[in-house]
């Protein structure tokens, strides 16, 4: 009987160690994130993001495996494909998706990507060490128009607002999705959630002029609280305004260090290449300073060249000089929607060869390189 007890105790302890331990042997108690009840996966993701910053810049692409120029996945179990992989033989390390229309209970998001397809691809790419970031272009709760219907609505969804019940339902639907992100063992897959982005612009109903900074900050905090009430604990929260003039503008809508895990900024090439590089350097310097004060990782959370098909050396002559030595954890290019609207290269595109050179830089990291960091 004593031998049986010893045998049982030994294997019970072994099982517990296997369940609680990882290859990194991290001290999870020392990793502080917004969610005090965060899953270990979320803390591990935070650790990996900070480790990436020591090695270089992870390359990212929105809807990377959902569609590209001249193709689109339509089935849940479709084979993975990527415009970037077809050019370089490598997948993006960071992959973005949007959750717009999940609040409506729809099957597809506003860009016609099935939520079931997202989950399938996330599970597949999670095994390879990919990092996932989610934006949310949700409808206007007052008018039922799109995100770009800038009719004031924030006050109506805060506590006590006339659309509060609708908003809480929307968060429940969002929570069901986040809680469904599981690996093949049934463990949570942690992701970066980047809600209410580009708030210093006026084009979204949660943006400048459509709500006050105080209302925005309250919306941010209440969003997190509602997600946690719905037992969502696999998220890291990223804050990302549009191009800023300086630290004062960056801080205008900032909800506080206790409510943000990752700092970001969205910068597109609207004003020409030289202005773009200048904006990258000045903006990322501000975000770096803010991140240093708060001891948080930071990223270029959206970017891309709006001069479609015109700059064959854009990657090495403009994007790379703007982000080199910036300290960002990743750079996310926006989606490849169609030949007249794309932000990453693809087979036959004018900058394809230049992108291959960009991919070869030691500090530009793709999925295989981030996978090694994740496994260390």
Q: What is the pLDDT of residues 275-334, one digit of tens each?
A: 999 999 999 999 999 999 999 999 999 999 999 999 999 999 999 999 999 999 999 999
Cross-strand bridge partners of residue 61: 95, 333
Residue range(s) defining the domain that contains residue 170: 2-375
What's the rounded Cα separation, in Å, for the pair 239 and 260? 6
Q: Count of domains in the chain? A: 1
Could you say which DSSP state residue 114 is in? B
Q: What is the pLDDT of residue 20?
A: 40
Q: What is the pLDDT of residue 16?
A: 38
Q: What are phi and psi of 131, to 5 degrees?
A: -110, 135
Q: What is the pLDDT of residue 76?
A: 55
What's the rounded Cα separation, in Å, for the pair 367 and 323? 19
Helix/strand/coil (H/E/C) assignment for every residue in 298-359: EEEEEEEECCCCCCCCHHHHHHHHHHCCCCCCEEEECCCCECCECCCCCCCCCCHHHHHHHH
CATH of the domain at 71: 3.20.20.80
pLDDT tens-digit readout, 329-349: 999 999 999 999 999 999 999
Q: Is the confidence at residue 12, as pLDDT, over 80? A: no
Phi-psi category of residue 367: left, alpha or beta, with phi > 0 → left and psi -120 to 50 → alpha: alpha
Q: Is the confidence at residue 365, as pLDDT, over 70? A: yes
Residue 21 — pLDDT band, cuts 50, 70, 90?
very low
Q: Which residues contact 354 (CB under 8 A, 6 or more apart)?
A: 312, 313, 314, 315, 316, 317
pLDDT tens-digit readout, 35-72: 999 999 999 999 999 999 999 999 999 999 999 999 99
Query: Which of 128, 117, 236, 95 lies closest to 177, judged by CA?
Result: 117
Q: What is the pLDDT of residue 77?
A: 57
């Amino acid at each position: 009987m004593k031998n049986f007890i010893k045998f049982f105790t030994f294997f019970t302890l072994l099982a517990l160690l296997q369940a609680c331990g990882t290859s990194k042997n991290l001290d999870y108690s020392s990793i502080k994130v917004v969610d005090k009840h965060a899953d270990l996966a979320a803390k591990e993701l935070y650790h990996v993001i900070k480790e990436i910053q020591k090695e270089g810049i992870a390359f990212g692409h929105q809807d990377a495996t959902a569609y590209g120029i001249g193709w689109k996945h339509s089935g849940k179990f479709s084979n993975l494909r990527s415009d970037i992989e077809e050019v370089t033989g490598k997948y993006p390390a960071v992959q973005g998706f949007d959750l717009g229309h999940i609040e409506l209970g729809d099957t597809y998001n506003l860009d016609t990507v099935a939520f079931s397809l997202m989950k399938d691809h996330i599970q597949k790419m999670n095994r390879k060490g990919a990092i996932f970031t989610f934006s949310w272009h949700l409808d206007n709760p007052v008018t039922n128009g799109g995100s770009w219907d800038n009719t004031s609505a924030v006050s109506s969804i805060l506590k006590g607002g006339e659309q509060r019940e609708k908003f809480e339902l929307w968060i429940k639907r969002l929570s069901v999705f986040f809680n469904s992100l599981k690996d093949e063992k049934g463990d949570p897959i942690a992701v970066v959630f980047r809600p209410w982005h580009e708030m210093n612009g006026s084009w979204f109903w949660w943006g400048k002029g459509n709500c006050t900074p105080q209302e925005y900050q309250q919306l941010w905090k209440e969003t997190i609280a509602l997600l946690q009430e719905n037992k969502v604990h696999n998220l890291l929260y990223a804050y990302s305004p549009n191009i800023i003039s300086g630290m004062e503008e960056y801080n205008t809508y900032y909800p506080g260090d206790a409510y943000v895990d990752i700092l970001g900024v969205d910068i597109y090439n609207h004003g020409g290449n030289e202005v773009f590089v200048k904006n990258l350097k000045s903006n990322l310097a501000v975000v770096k300073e803010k991140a240093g004060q708060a001891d948080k990782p930071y990223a270029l959370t959206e970017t891309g060249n709006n001069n479609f098909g015109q700059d064959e050396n854009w990657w090495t002559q403009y994007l790379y000089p703007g982000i080199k030595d910036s300290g960002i954890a990743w750079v996310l290019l926006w989606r490849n929607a169609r030949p007249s609207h794309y932000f990453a290269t693809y087979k036959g595109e004018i900058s394809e060869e230049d992108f291959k050179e960009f991919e070869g830089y030691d500090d530009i990291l793709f999925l295989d390189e981030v996978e090694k960091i994740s496994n260390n």
